[in-house]
Structure 1
Amino acid sequence: MRSSKWLLPVRVLLTYQVLLLLLRQAKGEESHCTSVAGMVKLLDLEAQLIDNLEDYAVELEKKLQTVRRSITSLRLENDKARSSTEEYLSNPLNSFSLIRRMNRDWIIWQLYMDDPVGISQVERIQELREHMPTHTDVEEAVTALDRIQSTYGLKVPEISHGFLNGKQYNVSLTVLDTYAMGQILFDQKNYLAAASWIYQSVVLMEAFSMAAPLEISKNEVRMVYAETLLKLNQHADALKVVNIALTDNPHDIKLLLKKSEIETMIRTGTNNAPPVKVQATGVPTAYQIGCRGQFPPSADSKLYCLYNRTTSPFLILAPLKMELVGLDPYMVLYHDVLSPKEIKELQGMATPGLKRATVYQASSGRNEVVKTRTSKVAWFPDGYNPLTVRLNARISDMTGFNLYGSEMLQLMNYGLGGHYDQHYDFFNKTNSNMTAMSGDRIATVLFYLTDVEQGGATVFPNIRKAVFPQRGSVVMWYNLKDNGQIDTQTLHAACPVIVGSKWVCNKWIREREQIFSRPCLKKRM
């Protein structure tokens, strides 16, 4: 009997996919690319899919072996008959067998050929699709790679060949990768960036061939490239691309129509493309300069390194290595604060519960997922376990602040191009629910749990300072001035990670309990 499972109507399959999408939206997108730790399970999932595909290949090979064995015996009998036709057919047994074969055997072969292979493997893929990245994940990944390129001034050809920020890696992008970049950037109306990626796809297609079933036609890529150039008002270049495509397919109707359309646009001077905003690429911003590590070193003689023995009585016995980074705002960097064992425990605590990071929105009065912050976080109360208790005690030793009423420890892991755009940590809301109980965020304490191979710095554009992640170190700065007013010099950002897994842990300290340790001073006239 033929399996009837594969005959499930297409309409039912589409309905199932729509319901699955709605269910995933209700549960919330996993946002795979925003955390390296979160992407680890995708490798395990891909391994399952590869094993499943191998099972499918085994099923195909079994069927192929059956067919080939049968071809050998069928060919042998047919050759025997055709070598001596009259003698063969004059024998009633041969005649009967031929008629029976032609009437029955070949109908069975037709059914066998029509019977699908790998039903169980297809169903397995359908089961795993719920855990696979969605189109939204791919869009976020494209945006992340584009963010890396623009922030660090990288070139598309170099990226596609694994040359990242001056270092060659043993990895490269395929035509499918670069074409997907171009397509999605085109859909996002980022035509200038899209053109670079689609052109790179054209270049790669000339150098490498693609195997079924993933191949794409050169003409398809060229047509999209021509459309992109039209969006950039580069009509003559678009016409050249179409003419090149016509050399391979001179009678292609779509190409001929597109050529006629472009020629008319050039002749009449018409422009149907909307105006395109092109960002200036010549002069990098202060933020980009900081991310690239190009801020000049400080020449302030008041900044120095020392062993801090004074902030708390405990430091008399166990002083901390402290580097004074800035005075306005006050900023210090502590070295070797966390041990490798503590870091490993913190990462183990956070990994199972990592969720997409959110940002407080004053307009709605609640935390929301935003594109300007791409990472995953996990929160832990001060008394969660002995390690969190010890960590908070260490923060008190470093800052001299009372942590009562302050926020929980927040552990974060950044993923593909993970970043946090320029922002302030203070709320600046005197009557807000966020500050009514414990006041505003007087200070930020940021632990670096890992080194980051490339990228991932914390930059302060207004004061032209950048702190690069060093495993076990801590940076601390004041968000409020001595008089309790907000300090706009504390504008900062987490630069996109190029290569590496960036783990941090931070603590926002509230001002209300610091009335004696850092009293509000009058502003000097």
Structure 2
Amino acid sequence: MMTRSMCVILFLTFITAGMILGIFLQLLQFWNLEKSSGPSPWVSKKQSAFLHLGLVKPEILSWSPRIILFRNFLTMEECDYLKTIAEPHLQASQVQDTKTGKAVTSDARTSYGTFLTLGQTKFSMIQAVEKRIAIFTQIPQENAELLYVIRYRPTEYYLVHHDYLPEDTIAGLKGGQRVATMLMYLSNVVEGGETYFPLAGSGNCSCGGVTVQGLCVKPNKGDALLFWNMGLNGKVDPRSLHSGCPVLKGEKWTATSWMRQGSARGFWNTKKPWTSEAFKRSYTA
């Protein structure tokens, strides 16, 4: 009887020890997988720190249209750097004439801005920003237009508009339609300057000191706003209508990345010299 009891005890002890060892080995395997995976399959551990990935906090603002706010998307140094390299080259912002397709100045858009050059995209800090955009949008870096840095002073604004291009201008256009927009805030605005989506949200908000219905996003230095100009059905989304509310006090600085359906950078790789008119026709809207 004693021998049988000892055998049962030894058997149960063996089973228990095996289960504990199995759990330990499984936890060890999970730890190794987590340690080796990193924050993104696109980047190494060293790149992860350089790209600021661990500090970015996404917040969904709307499903229709699709709008996501990324807190801490840019570092303060990146914001100041973009402003510094762009400021000497600012010119009156333009819109695309719906009749001629040419870029023209308009009372609908009173800010000043400039596109970064292809050479500037090779700078390490610009590379970090563009790679970060590609990671969080899941749109290849080559599909992005050159970054456009914009400055709004008091009373300046951009009336309601869509970022997608007129459908009759897409045929033969390098990169195709604009799929999404990443709007990055480079400064804090004392008053006004909100980004306003009249067809998003269901409450009221303040746009340049005026109470309106919809969704208003107040600029916060380092944050970025991602919104989709095309729906999941592959068609342009009219609900992505938005505006830049008038600045009341302070200055508003932003950097915008418009992302296309296909490669938008191949235009710059041609050996033929590009003209300002070709640049405006292909990249400004």
Give me the TM-score of the superposition, normalised by structure 2: 0.67
Contact 2:174 2:263 in 1 (8 A): no
- 8 Å Cα contact 1:382-1:389 kept in structure 2: no
Corresponding residue for 1:438?
A: 175
8 Å Cα contact 1:430/1:436 also seen in 2: no
Matched, 1:504 2:262: no
Q: 1:311 to 1:498 in 2, by over 3 A?
A: farther
Taking the aligned partners of 1:488 and 1:414, their CA distance within structure 2 comes to 25
Instruction: Give 1:207's aligned residue.
Output: none
Choose the corresponding residue for 1:395, options 110, 128, 133.
133
Cα displacement (A) at 1:436? 2.3
| Residue correspondence of structure 1 range 414-493 to structure 2 within 5 A | 414-432=152-170, 436-463=173-200, 464-493=214-243
Superposed displacement of residue 397, structure 1? 1.4
C-alpha distance in 2 between matches for 1:444 and 1:405? 12
1:367 is aligned to 103
Distance 1:377 1:370 in 2: 14
Counting only pairs closer than 5 Å after superposition, residues 291-310 of structure 1 correspond to structure 2 as none
Question: What code does the residue aligned with 1:427 have?
Answer: L
In the TM superposition, what whole-angstrom CA distance separates every residue of 1:362-401 from its partner, at most 9, and x where no partner exists?
Answer: 2111100000101100111355122222211111111111
- Tell me by how many angstroms 1:323 deviates: 0.7
Report the CA distance between 1:513 and its aligned residue.
4.9
Distance (Å, rounded) in 2 between the aligned partners of 1:458 and 1:327: 17
Native 8 Å contact 2:185 2:224 kept in 1: yes
| Counterpart among 390, 395, 404 of residue 142 in structure 2 | 404
Unpaired runs of at least 5, structure 2? 1-37, 201-213, 265-285
Q: Tell me how many residue pairs correspond in the alignment.
A: 205
1:352 aligned to which of 84, 88, 113: 88
Alpha-carbon deviations, 1:77-102, whole Å to 9, x = none?
xxxxxxxxxxxxxxxxxxxxxxxxxx
Structure 1: unaligned runs, 5 residues or longer: 1-308, 515-525
Q: Could you say which structure has the higher strand fraction?
A: 2
Secondary structure in structure 1 of the residue aligned to 2:81: helix
Q: Tell me what 2:73 maps to.
A: 337
Write the letter of the residue equivalent to 2:252: K
Percent identical residues: 27
Aligned 1:143-222 pairs, distance under 5 A: none
Higher relative contact order, structure no. (Cα contacts within 8 Å, ≥ 6 residues apart): 2
Contact 2:170 2:177 (8 Å CA) reproduced:
no
Partner secondary structure for residue 142 of structure 2: coil
Taking the aligned partners of 1:443 and 1:421, their CA distance within structure 2 comes to 19
Output the CA distance in 1 between the equivalents of 2:232 and 2:69. Answer: 20
Cα deviation 1:394-451 (Å, max 9, x = unaligned): 1111111113243110000011311000000001324546x62211100000000011
TM score, norm. by length of structure 1: 0.37
Structure 1 distance, partners of 2:219, 2:183, is 10
Quick check: 1:428–1:486 contact (8 Å CA) kept in 2?
Answer: no
